[in-house]
Amino acid sequence: MSGSNGSINRAAFRTMECGLYIVTSRSGDRLNGQIANTVFQVTSQPPRIATSLSKSNLTHEYIAESGVFTVCVMAEEAPFAFIGPFGFRSGRVINKLEGISYVIGINGCPVITDHVVASIEARVTDSVDVGTHTLFIGDVVSARLLHDARPMTYAFYQQNLKGKTPVDSPTYIPEE
Ligand SMILES: Cc1cc2nc3c(=O)[nH]c(=O)nc-3n(C[C@H](O)[C@H](O)[C@H](O)COP(=O)(O)O)c2cc1C
């Protein structure tokens, strides 16, 4: 057992399993999306989901403006070349949806249709300031199964795509 009482061994965070998602939003007719591993269902009745996004991200700006977001659940077969721009580039610098297949959902956000197993569309009900990030909580307005494939877990991403986590992610682990 490593780490004594009261100390923070960040390796403990890596034991918390989660999935990998593209969270999309819009501002007017401008669209964007980013990778997030901090997405989870918070209640069942009514169905409600939450995501923790960095205040410096364009996706954060769009959700704060429009009050809507959509979670696209990544498939295991998604290549790093597909994930990379969504997770390591900002929509302020590139148009991440150029050349990507998507449809517009009922909340007006893009639903990505390649390398995605399901989509969950939400309208924000609460925003909690958690410091560097905002926890956006939303009522689900639509949920669809898109492809019969295995959803990607964060562990699968780290083990098989050898992907790193950028500093903007809540689960970023700084060098100690
Ligand atoms: C594996 C992985 C997980 C990530 N998880 C989150 C997350 O949960 N929240 C967050 O704000 N950023 C997360 N990021 C970082 C954003 O995807 C990244 O900062 C993105 O470039 C922001 O794009 P935007 O400015 O276009 O919104 C993650 C990135 C990767 C690669």
Tell me the average pLDDT across 61-66.
Answer: 98
pLDDT tens readout for residues 74-124: 999 999 999 999 999 999 999 999 999 999 999 999 999 999 999 999 999
pLDDT at 43 over 60: yes
Q: Whose CA is nearest to atom 11 of ligand 1?
A: 53
pLDDT at 68 over 90: yes
- Give the pLDDT band of residue 170 (cuts 50, 70, 90): confident
Domain spans of the chain, in order of start: 27-160
Asked if residues 73 and 151 have their Cβ atoms less than 8 Å apart, the reply is yes
Into which CATH architecture does domain 27-160 fall?
A: Roll (2.30)
Minimum-distance ligand 1 atom for the alpha carbon of 164: 31
Average per-residue pLDDT for the chain: 93
Q: Please give the C-alpha separations between residue 169 and each of 45, 89, 111, 153, in angstroms, as whole numbers.
A: 29, 13, 22, 15
- Nearest CA-CA partner of 55 in 129, 122, 165, 110: 129
pLDDT at 130: 98
The amino acid occupying position 49 is I
Asked if residues 35 and 168 have their Cβ atoms less than 8 Å apart, the reply is no
The amino acid occupying position 40 is F
Contact 24 CB / ligand 1 (< 6 Å): no
Asked if residues 141 and 121 have their Cβ atoms less than 8 Å apart, the reply is yes
Contact 58 CB / ligand 1 (< 6 Å): yes
Percent of the chain at pLDDT exceeding 90: 82
Distance (Å, whole) CA 21 – CA 87: 10
Instruction: Give 14's contacts (C-beta < 8 A, 6+ positions apart).
Output: 173
Distance (Å, whole) CA 119 – CA 111: 7
Contact 169 CB / ligand 1 (< 6 Å): yes
